[in-house]
Structures are given as C-alpha cells and as structure tokens.
A and B are shown apart, each in its own frame.
Chain A
Amino acid sequence: MVLLEVKGLTYSVRDKKPLSGLDLTVNEQEIHALLGANGAGKTTLANLIMGCGGYMPTAGEIRFQGQLITAMAIHERARLGITMAWQEPARFDGLSVGDYLSLGRAANTPADCLRRVGLEPAAYLGRALDKTLSGGERKRIELASLLALKPKLAILDEPDSGIDMLSLQEVVDVIKELQREGAAILLITHRQEIARIANRASLLCGGRLVMTDEPERVAERFRSRDCRTCDGETCHD
C-alpha cells in the first residue's frame, strides 16, 4: 500500500530546476533507495518531502497516507510519522544524548536505542550532543533517534557517509530493524552495497526521476551512464 506519493514535483530556483516533474511512491514498510550523482537532486527531494525551510515546490504535490502535506510545516509532518536523518546531523550545546533521544513522542527508551546502534548507554546518555562527538558517533546517535521515534517514514540522507567500512553492516542492520518495526525508509545513498538492501530503487538524474526498478538493475544503470554530465533528459533515453 502506498505510504508516500510524490506527483509532478517541480522545484525551481531562479532559472534553474533542481527537480522537474518528479513522480515517486514509497510503499508501507518498504526500503526505497534513491541513487544519483552529486547534484542530481536527492537531498533537495528529501528536504521537500520533510518540508524544510526554503523548500517549497513550484508545482506538484506530496501526499502521505493519502493526505496532502505539500504545505505542512515540518513538525506537522513529523507528527504524522515522517522524520529525517540529515547527512550532517546538527549538534547542540548543552543538550545531552539522553535528552535528544527523549524528544518528541519517543516510543523506545534512549538506552535501548543506543545499545541497538552499538553505543554503550552508560558512556553516552549523559554526553553533550556537541562537537566533542566524532562524526561516526553523531551518525549512530541519529540512527538511534529514529529507533526512538518509531516513524512511519524515515528519510535517511546518506546514513553511511562518515561511517567506516567495518561499521557499515551495523548501519544496514539498523535500517532493517527500522523496517521490521514498521517503518518505510527512503534511503539516499551512493553506496551500492547499501542500496542492495532496498526493496526498490529509483535513479535521479539532473532533477528527473529516470528509473524505478529492482535495486540491482537501477545500480547497474547508474554505473553504466555518465550521470555527472547528464541533464536527465538525454543520457537515459
């Protein structure tokens, strides 16, 4: 059953169209990978779905569980069950990891969520969510916050960036765990080993969605084309 439906989504900035006439669906409890070169529009799409500041579609609509959410504020979308983990998660002076994992309508305990991302609660619950954490630790805490929230749709913007190869499997395990707990995941990634866990994948190129299929086939097409110089109209014909 369709959870998220994006229809004819266009986003223009001055004379440029970072996204153009984009259609995408994400089904309930589906992992949907979004592949594309740098600048293809993946993060822009994520920001539009989440409703981040400064991102308002110039055309098209976004529906969640059938409800039109295109003009909703972030927190209203969050209360419907959408959340997002940014590629570079924010850091906060004075806010502890434990406080952060208790924000909003947290469904799982902070300690349990930390354990599930491989962090020892005793060492992390009281730590400040500031620049004293490494990039990898911060990423894991962001994943833990998704486990705490138990969203219906989690948008993950490159959850694997800044994570070493040995920890990659743990990231995969957490994503699968989120899915098992009922979440659908829109997974933005460059890594095909991560995209492989998806049920479906889509390829974005030059602001257009050019293909949705099984992850292997989408990854194969991504590899075989020079997406970095593509305008999204010609190279994927």
Chain B
Amino acid sequence: MTEGLNNLLGELFSHYPDAAILTQPQTAHLVIDGQQMLSRQTIPGVDIRSQESAGVITIQITVARGIQVENPIHTCIGLMKPHGSQHIRLQVKLEAHTSAHIIAHCIFPNAEKVRHVMESRVELGEGAELRHSEGHYHGPYGGIEVIPQAEVRVGSHARYFSDFSLTSGRVGKLQLDYRVVVEKQGVAEITTRVYGHGTDEIRIRDELILEGEDARGLIKSRIAVEDEATSAVIGVTHGKAAGARGHMDCKEIVRDRAVASAEPIVRVEHPQAMVTHEAAVGTVDQKQLETLMAHGLTPDEAVDVVISGLLR
C-alpha cells in the first residue's frame, strides 16, 4: 500500500466502522486522492474504470445486465492535502434488472482551501435498483467548496435511492444540484442531510421529474444550521404523467444567528398527477425539548438528541 492510500484509508477507518470491507476481494472499490487513483478493484459483473485527462478524473461504473451486486461498491474519494482541487466525473450505469449499492466516502479532513466538484451521470435500466449513499467527512476549517451535481435517469420499473450526508465537520460551501427523471412506474427518493456551523453556506437544489405513468418520487431534506451558517433549499417536482405521485418534505432547524429557507416548487402537467409538499423551518421544537428534559436531559443534551435524530 502506498503512503497516500494508507493516509486516506486511515482517515476512512476513523469515520466508517465497516471500512475493512474495502480490503475484501469480493468488494468492488475505487480509491482516489486528489487527482490520483490509488486503488481499484473490480468483481465479476461490475466494471470500474477511471482515467485522468486535463485535470478531470472520469470514473465509469457499469453493472452488467441481470447482476445483483451482493456487497456495496465503495468509492473513497478525497484530498488529504489542505489545498487543492478535485474534479470528478462519475458515470454510473446499471443495466436492466440489476441491483447495487454504491457507498461513496468523500474525505477532506485537512481542507483549508479545497474545491471538490463531482459531476455524476446515473442511468438505471429497466427494473434496476440503485442505492447511492454519499457520506462526507470534512475537517474543522470550513475552507472547502463542495459542488455535487447529478443527472439521473430512472428507467421504467427501476428504483433509485440517494442519500447525501454532510454532518461531520464544517460544510464550507455546498452547492448541491440533483436532477432526477423517473420513467414509467419508476421510483426515486432523494435524501439530503447537512449540518452547518460557523459561516457555512448550504445551497441545495433537488429536482424530480416524474415523466412516466405511475412514477413516484420523494425529496427529503434534513438540515440543521447554527452559529452564522445559512441554508437555502429548493425542491422542485414535476408531475407529468397519469398516476405520477411526488412529495417534498423539508425540515430545517435553525439556531443562534443562522438563517434557513425552504422553497418548494410544484409543477403538475397532467390532471391525474399529484404532488404535495411540507416544510418546517425554525428552532428546535419546544415540546420535543421539554419531553427530553422531562427525562433528565439538559437543554444542550436535548438539542443534540433532536438534531442528531433529524440528521440520522
């Protein structure tokens, strides 16, 4: 193992208790530090390729038709240096009737001035199912700019579940922009969980286009901001076909001098489609706090329980 790989995996082990799974031969994985690919492992039915060109690393993950990938595919992408930039293009293709779980670990423990751009293009064939969990582990400095963008197409009868989590360390500046198109009887759920501190800036835009008949989708945002952090969440759902059902559920907890906003946009273009939304933005619920304090928790302990529950 190279020193770079050791450093990145060492950091991963401190955040992710099951990190040892990366070393198992039946687990497909990819490890990248900065612009350098450190380790890659494919397994039968799962092809992983990467190439670097003009400062951009392109990663292609393809799951062959009919393959059910038993162990999650791990991608460990980070930057151990305090300064630098990283530009990744991730292309994920699940062919028809496949299933896979991709766990992406994004690790920037020392970031003082770092820019991380992740452009994803995800394509799910008919009846495919993808769970995509992306966990960010940032350091305490807040000097990071994270720009995750995703274009996702969920084929007919396919299912897509994405879970983006940035609750460890400072967020820095986050500009998340996901656009998911769902075809006939497809399902998409997009969950975003972020905890902002200091002067962190959180900008989230999730767009769900329920294009096919009986397509279903959920946008779920769970945000907490404290100190002087700001958060702006925009959820957009289009209901474009008969039987399409969409829902947006945004909860944001605001503390100290932090500022949060939620803007749901609903666009229904078919009389038999239905899109609903709910948003709760404000301080920690008083009744929740009092309930926990009646169990003997101090006000600070009670707030921690509520926020960690919200972001779980």
Contact = CB atoms under 8 A, between A and B. Distances in A.
A97 interface: no
A92 B309 contact: yes
A200 to B, nearest CB: 24
A50 B290 CA distance: 9
Contacts of B312: 93-95
A73 B288 CA distance: 15
Contacts of A75: 293-294, 296-299, 302
B304 to A, nearest CB: 11
A222 to B, nearest CB: 28
B306 A92 contact: yes
A194 to B, nearest CB: 21
A73 B311 CA distance: 27
B305 to A, nearest CB: 7
A78 B251 contact: no
B106 to A, nearest CB: 22
B3 interface: no
A103 B292 contact: yes
Interface of A is mostly: loop
B170 interface: no
Contact of A93 (B286, B294, B296, B310): B310
B287 A86 contact: yes
Contacts of A83: 294-295
A156 to B, nearest CB: 12
A224 B299 CA distance: 44
A187 interface: no
B222 to A, nearest CB: 7
A149 B288 contact: no
Contact of B291 (A79, A90, A105): A90
Nearest to B311: A94
Interface in B198-222: 222
Contacts of B308: 94
**Residue of B285, B288, B306, B309 contacting most chain A CB atoms (<10 Å):** B309
Interface residues of B, number: 25
A53 interface: yes
A149 B294 CA distance: 10
B307 to A, nearest CB: 9
A149 B293 CA distance: 12
Given A86-B287, A90-B285, A90-B287, A104 B305 contact: no
Contacts of B296: 75, 78-79, 103-105, 149
Most buried by A among B296, B298, B302: B296
Contacts of B292: 103
Contacts of B288: 90, 92
B253 to A, nearest CB: 10
Contacts of A198: none
Contacts of A89: 291
Contacts of A93: 222, 251, 309-310, 312
Contacts of A53: 286, 289-290
Nearest to A155: B294
Nearest to B310: A93
Contacts of B291: 86, 89-90
Contacts of B298: 75
Contacts of B311: 94
A94 B310 contact: yes
Nearest to B289: A53
Contact of A94 (B297, B299, B309): B309
Nearest to B288: A90
Contacts of A174: none
Interface string A42-73: 00000000101100000000000000000001
Interface string A86-111: 10011011110000000111000000
A74 interface: yes
A145 interface: yes
Interface in B262-305: 285-299, 302, 305
A185 interface: no
Nearest 6 pairs of A and B residues by beta carbon: A94-B309, A94-B312, A104-B295, A104-B296, A74-B293, A95-B309
11 contacts: A74-B294, A75-B297, A84-B294, A90-B290, A90-B291, A93-B222, A93-B312, A95-B309, A103-B292, A103-B295, A105-B296
Interface of B: 222, 251, 285-299, 302, 305-306, 308-312
Interface of A: 50, 52-53, 73-75, 78-79, 82-84, 86, 89-90, 92-95, 103-105, 145, 149
Given A78-B295, A103-B305, 9 more contacts: A50-B290, A82-B294, A83-B294, A89-B291, A90-B291, A93-B309, A95-B305, A95-B309, A103-B292
